[in-house]
C-alpha cells in the first residue's frame, strides 16, 4: 500500500454513507411510503455501489503488489464517485420535492 493511499478514506466514508442509505431504506419500508419507489430504488443502487467501493478499497489495502493495489484503489474511487452522485441526485430530488 502506497503512502498516499486513499483506500482507508474511501473505506471509512463508504461505510458511513452505506449506513445512512440503509437507515433511509429501512425508514421507507417501516413507514410504508407509497411514493418511495424512486427514492428507495436510487438509494438501493447507491447502497450496492457503496458496498462495492468498500470491498474494493479493503482489497486494495490487502493487495500484495503495488500495481494491483493502485488499480483496485482507482476502481474503488470511481465506484465511490458514482455512488456519491447517486446519493446527491436522490437528496436533490427529495429536497426540492421533485418526487410526487
Region at 63 (left for phi over 0; alpha for psi -120 to 50; beta for the rest): beta
pLDDT of residue 4: 64
Cut 0.95: pTM above it: no
Contact of 59 with 72, CB cutoff 8 Å? yes
Cell 470491498 -> residue: 55
Helix (H) or strand (E) run with residue 44 in it:
helix 37-62
For 70-99, how does the pLDDT look when each residue is reduced to its tens digit (9 = 90+)? 999 999 999 999 999 999 988 887 787 665
- In 3-state terms, what secondary structure has residue 93? helix
Residue 6 pLDDT greater than 90, yes or no: no
- What is the C-alpha to C-alpha distance for residues 7 and 52, in angstroms, rounded to an integer? 13
pLDDT of residue 97: 67
- What is the C-alpha to C-alpha distance for residues 86 and 100, in angstroms, rounded to an integer? 19
Amino acid at each position: 500500500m502506497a503512502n498516499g493511499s486513499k483506500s482507508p478514506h474511501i473505506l471509512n466514508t463508504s461505510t458511513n454513507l452505506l449506513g445512512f442509505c440503509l437507515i433511509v431504506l429501512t425508514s421507507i419500508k417501516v413507514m410504508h411510503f407509497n411514493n418511495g419507489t424512486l427514492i428507495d430504488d436510487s438509494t438501493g443502487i447507491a447502497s450496492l455501489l457503496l458496498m462495492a467501493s468498500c470491498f474494493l478499497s479493503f482489497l486494495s489495502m490487502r493487495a500484495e503488489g503495488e500495481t494491483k493495489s493502485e488499480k483496485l484503489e482507482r476502481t474503488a474511487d470511481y465506484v465511490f464517485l458514482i455512488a456519491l452522485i447517486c446519493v446527491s441526485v436522490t437528496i436533490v430530488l427529495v429536497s426540492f420535492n421533485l418526487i410526487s
